[in-house]
Amino acid sequence: MRRALLLPALVLALIAVLAAPAGAAPLGKSTAAKLESALTKAWAKTKAPGVIAGVWIGGKGWTAVRGSTVKGKHVTPTLADHTRIGSVTKTFTGTVILQLVEEGKLKLDQTIQQWFPTAPEASNITIRELGDMSSGINTYTADPALDTRYFDHPQTIWKTDEAIEAGLAEPRKFPPGEGFFYSDTNTLMLGKIAEAVTGKSVGTLLRERIFQPLDLKGTSFPATTELPVPFWNGYTNQNIKGTKVRDSTHWSPSLAGAAGKMISTLPDLHRWTIALGTGSLLSPAIQKQRLKPNPYSVAGGREYLFCLGRDHGWLSHTGDIPGYNTTVAYLPKKKAAIVVLANTDIEAEEALPTPKLFTTLAEVVTPGNVPTGTH
């Protein structure tokens, strides 16, 4: 990846230019100054080499970048940089499922037996329970052998069926519909159901039903380990002893599939966050179904809906995949959106970077709705 190295003075000048995002009037100077200060202070407490962030309220917005796209160098991030978005992918997959429900091709309360006849308790698990994480199905990363293979050979191309089988083979967490457990296996299964119903791949469904209608030109469901140019490098310490860090930029995202494989940019995620929060790709009746919480997930102002969370009023989701961390959030009553991207999934003070940065920015613009900012 070739980039010009910017001197500190030029970096500050670039940040000032980014303060007013394309297509949106700038937020007031006082608010923007508070956001700039809050982001700088909060970023210093993370271990992220770089951060890209945006806050929008109505038709006004603010964006900023910090740090570098390459650890140990001064390569300033840009709003056009492509990033892996991890589990934010779930919000896209869930939307496709809900569109199929709206079209009468699926029902939220039908069981998964016809697609997964050999899965334990398949006749009792519903599509809704896959989406709101109440199925009791374990996550495939609980399989030690799979986990070891992934980290020993991170460029391996995985088959979705292999990951699903690993998740189903792990001990169940609870009977269907009687708990909350965040499991990537659930969303992989939703992706397979969507493929079976339509005869199209998840990537094609996402492109036709979401990327194209919303004109998300920087968003993709990749088939290789490559990222579109420009991109930033990602860094992880997962499965590493001590303080060492691995560059995971070109690790294969295939294991994450419909649960976490996607790539996007800040401008695209801004547009997506508004569509997600307002339900613009769904009817009001189906959006209402999406916003029904799993009752077992309700705690401390937070709850999990259908492939989406709610945190003190913010409809939000965080994604992390080795090397990358993303949070998207929309507060309906304020028509406010926040998107934060970081090029690491390394925790500081037992917290991922973007949820903490999300909380910090929300404190500035919506002090009456401050999220906890946890995963």
Percent of the chain with pLDDT over 90: 89
Is 252 a residue whose pLDDT tops 50? yes
Is 2 a residue whose pLDDT tops 60? no
User: Contact at 8 Å (CB) between 26 and 61?
Assistant: yes
Class for the domain spanning 83-365? alpha beta
User: What is d(CA 193, CA 188) in angstroms, rounded to the nearest whole number?
Assistant: 9
Predicted pLDDT of residue 220: 98
User: What is d(CA 184, CA 164) in angstroms, rounded to the nearest whole number?
Assistant: 9
User: What is d(CA 281, CA 48) in angstroms, rounded to the nearest whole number?
Assistant: 33
| Burial readout 48-64 (b: 16 or more C-beta within 10 A, e: otherwise) | bbbbbbbbbbeebbbbb
Cis check: omega of the bond before 230, within 30 degrees of 0? yes
User: Contact at 8 Å (CB) between 223 and 262?
Assistant: no
Sign of CA dihedral 208, 214, 217, 219: negative
Predicted pLDDT of residue 242: 67
Quick one: CA torsion of 199, 201, 203, 209, rounded to 10 degrees? Answer: 10
Please identify which residue in the block is written with the tokens 């391996």. 156
Look at strands 309-311 and 235-236 and give their pairing: unpaired
Is 100 a residue whose pLDDT tops 60? yes
Q: What is the pLDDT of residues 298-357, one digit of tens each?
A: 999 999 999 999 999 999 999 999 999 999 999 999 999 999 999 999 999 889 999 999
| Burial readout 305-328 (b: 16 or more C-beta within 10 A, e: otherwise) | bbbbbbbbbbbbbbbbbbbbbbbb
At residue 242, the 3 state secondary structure works out as coil
pTM recorded for the entire structure? 0.93
Predicted pLDDT of residue 243: 76
Is 22 a residue whose pLDDT tops 60? no
12 or 361, which is more confident? 361
Average pLDDT taken over every residue of the chain: 93
Sign of CA dihedral 83, 88, 91, 96: positive
Predicted pLDDT of residue 96: 98
Q: What is the pLDDT of residues 58-74, one digit of tens each?
A: 889 999 999 999 999 99
User: What is d(CA 62, CA 243) in angstroms, rounded to the nearest whole number?
Assistant: 35
